[in-house]
């Protein structure tokens, strides 16, 4: 039996060898294919996780931008309202009206509002005015203190002119300040968010981070985790919003006031104004401030948002972070390290880009549309707005010939200034954030210049000592995690913005 088996195997040794070879080769090929499929599946899963992490981090960044704007806006609002005290001028007009009625023997129970205060023929010649500003010191017998020089008297017409300019300038200035603060915050937090994301990717690639890329800062006492590893640089960089809140808004107000005087200066409180006229005058003011459609692409907003280089150290000192960090005045020369310099230079480049001006114009459009087309339309002109999307345009077109007195418009603008600056929730900020190009601009800031960021900040230096056999796989992991937005896509988006701007022109 054994001999017959051996003879059979000997006679069929070639087919058996071929069969075994085929089976072995098939097994090897199968294992190879399965391993490649598993590798591809793991890479796809890793890419999917990385993209999801990037998306979630980006969305969290935009929420942080909203809360940051809401936290910073009251500072600028307080400055603007203090400088343009429309309520004080209103009070003086009311006092003049009350004094005039008292002289005529007319008893009043309450002072009139802006909308109810009228200008008579004799008011333009009247020199009755409140003798001193609100809060001016008095002596114990009620007479004016000698230390407080009397304020020059103004006629009621002069006060009305001041009220017109103040009310309009204040609301317009706050819209511009809110829009500029929104854009600056988006640039700042997305630049820092990009650095944080790249730091997390490199930490994962070098093996110093075992889990997936961090998404949130779960430790309140660990600010480094949210926006990169250089907390001191990031902190100094974020304090540059101080310039807009304390200095830049003044230049914004001056430009707005000059334009408002040019456009609205000829109006009288006895004038009847239509909705079309208000919209036209508002557009003229914006044209003087921002320039025409062609000029807006090259508008200079940088001076409002960032200080000149010779005042950067002053901003750091005035913001108070040197004192908070326990640093003395002698450290002032160290407030502009290389990393901070790169952040400020890139921020300046972004602010001066056509995309920035384009997006800023769009969010300004949304802010002024809410103020004029909705608030003034409903509260001053008493248009009824239905739930239909086209109701605003339809209703306005039927009532554009209706005219109202200027004081009623000023009354609405005076109230809306507080809504723009202190509203919670802030309707104007919400309206600006509905502009889709704002999120697209934020995405470009967040996803651009990654390669230079990694080289300049030395994010890959910690990977130099990796074993050679691990380098390729780790590098692949970094690339698959980082390169989400193609450079061509960024260029296409910027090109689309340029074409849209040209089309608008």
Q: Is residue 251 part of a domain?
A: yes
pLDDT at 325 over 70: no
With a pLDDT cut of 90, the percent of the chain lying above it is: 38
**Residues contacting residue 346 through CB under 8 Å, at least 6 positions apart:** 191, 449
- 104-113, 161-170, 438-447, 495-504: range with lowest mean pLDDT: 495-504
pLDDT class of 335 with cuts at 50, 70, 90:
very low
Q: Is residue 64 part of a domain?
A: no
pLDDT of residue 79: 95
Assess whether 335 and 478 both reside in one domain. Answer: yes
Q: What radius of gyration do the chain's Cα atoms show?
A: 33
Q: How far apart are CA 107 and CA 95, in angstroms?
A: 13
Burial 161-193 (b: 16+ CB within 10 A, else e): bbbbbbbbbbbbbbbbbbbbbbbbbbbbbbbbb
CB distance 339 to 457 below 8 Å: yes
Confidence bin at 111 (pLDDT 50/70/90)? very low
* Total domain count, the chain: 2
Are 315 and 442 contained in the same domain? Answer: yes
Calpha distance 427→367 (Å, rounded):
9
Res 371: pLDDT: 95
What is the model's pLDDT at position 166?
A: 95
- Is the peptide bond between 425 and the residue preceding it cis, with omega within 30 degrees of 0? yes
The answer to whether 247 touches 231, Cβ cutoff 8 Å, is no
- pLDDT, mean of residues 182-198: 88
Does residue 185 form part of some domain?
A: yes
Higher pLDDT, 126 or 1: 1
The whole-number average pLDDT for the span 488-497 is 45
Q: What is the pLDDT averaged over residues 468-492?
A: 40
357 and 282 within one domain:
yes
Averaged pLDDT, 351-360: 93
Are 476 and 349 contained in the same domain?
A: yes
Q: Which domain holds residue 434?
A: 70-89+156-504
Check pLDDT > 60 for residue 410: yes
323 shares its domain with 450 = yes
Are 25 and 160 found together in one domain?
no
CB–CB of 99/128 below 8 Å?
Answer: yes
pLDDT digits (tens, 9 = 90+) for 54-106: 788 888 889 999 999 999 999 999 999 999 999 999 898 888 877 766 666 55
């Amino acid at each position: 039996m054994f001999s017959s088996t051996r003879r059979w195997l000997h006679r069929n040794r070639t087919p058996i060898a071929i069969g075994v070879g085929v089976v072995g080769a098939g097994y090897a090929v199968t294992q190879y294919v399965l391993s490649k499929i598993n590798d591809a599946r793991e890479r796809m899963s890793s890419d999917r996780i990385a993209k999801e992490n990037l998306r979630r981090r980006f969305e969290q960044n935009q929420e942080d931008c909203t809360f940051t704007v809401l936290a910073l806006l009251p500072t600028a609002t307080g400055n603007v309202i203090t400088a343009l005290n429309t309520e004080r001028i209103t009070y003086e007009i009311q006092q003049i009206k009350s004094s005039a009625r008292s002289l005529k023997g007319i008893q009043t129970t309450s002072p009139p509002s802006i909308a109810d205060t009228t200008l008579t023929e004799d008011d333009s010649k009247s020199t009755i005015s409140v003798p001193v500003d609100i809060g001016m010191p008095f002596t114990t017998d009620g007479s004016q203190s000698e230390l407080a020089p009397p304020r020059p008297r103004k006629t009621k017409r002069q006060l009305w002119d001041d009220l017109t300019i103040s009310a309009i300038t204040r609301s317009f200035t706050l819209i511009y300040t809110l829009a500029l603060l929104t854009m600056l915050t988006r640039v700042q937090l997305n630049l820092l968010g990009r650095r944080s994301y790249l730091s997390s990717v490199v930490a994962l690639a070098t093996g110093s981070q075992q889990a997936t890329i961090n998404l949130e800062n779960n430790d309140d006492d660990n600010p480094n985790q949210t926006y990169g590893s250089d907390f001191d640089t990031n902190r100094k960089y974020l304090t540059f919003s101080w310039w807009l809140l304390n200095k830049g808004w003044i230049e914004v107000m001056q430009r707005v006031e000059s334009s408002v005087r040019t456009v609205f200066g000829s109006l009288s409180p006895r004038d009847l104004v239509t909705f079309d006229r208000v919209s036209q005058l508002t557009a003229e003011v914006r044209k003087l401030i921002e320039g025409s459609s062609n000029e807006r692409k090259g508008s200079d907003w940088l001076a409002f948002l960032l200080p000149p280089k010779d005042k950067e150290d002053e901003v750091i000192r005035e913001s108070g972070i040197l004192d908070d960090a326990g640093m003395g005045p002698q450290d002032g020369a160290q407030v502009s390290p290389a990393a901070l310099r790169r952040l400020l230079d890139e921020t300046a480049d972004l602010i001066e880009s056509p995309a920035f001006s384009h997006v800023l114009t769009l969010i300004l459009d949304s802010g002024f549309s809410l103020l004029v087309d909705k608030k003034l339309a409903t509260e001053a002109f008493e248009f009824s707005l239905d739930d239909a999307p086209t109701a605003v345009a339809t209703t306005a077109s039927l009532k554009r010939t209706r005219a109202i007195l200027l004081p009623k418009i000023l009354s609405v603008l005076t109230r809306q200034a507080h809504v723009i600056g202190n509203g919670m929730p802030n309707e104007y900020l919400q309206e600006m954030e509905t502009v889709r190009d704002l999120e697209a601009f934020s995405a470009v800031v967040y996803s651009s210049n990654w390669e230079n960021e990694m080289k300049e900040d030395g994010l890959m230096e910690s990977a130099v000592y990796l074993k050679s056999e691990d380098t390729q796989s780790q590098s692949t992991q970094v690339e698959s995690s980082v390169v989400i937005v193609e450079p061509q896509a960024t260029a296409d988006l910027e090109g689309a913005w340029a074409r849209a701007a040209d089309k608008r022109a």
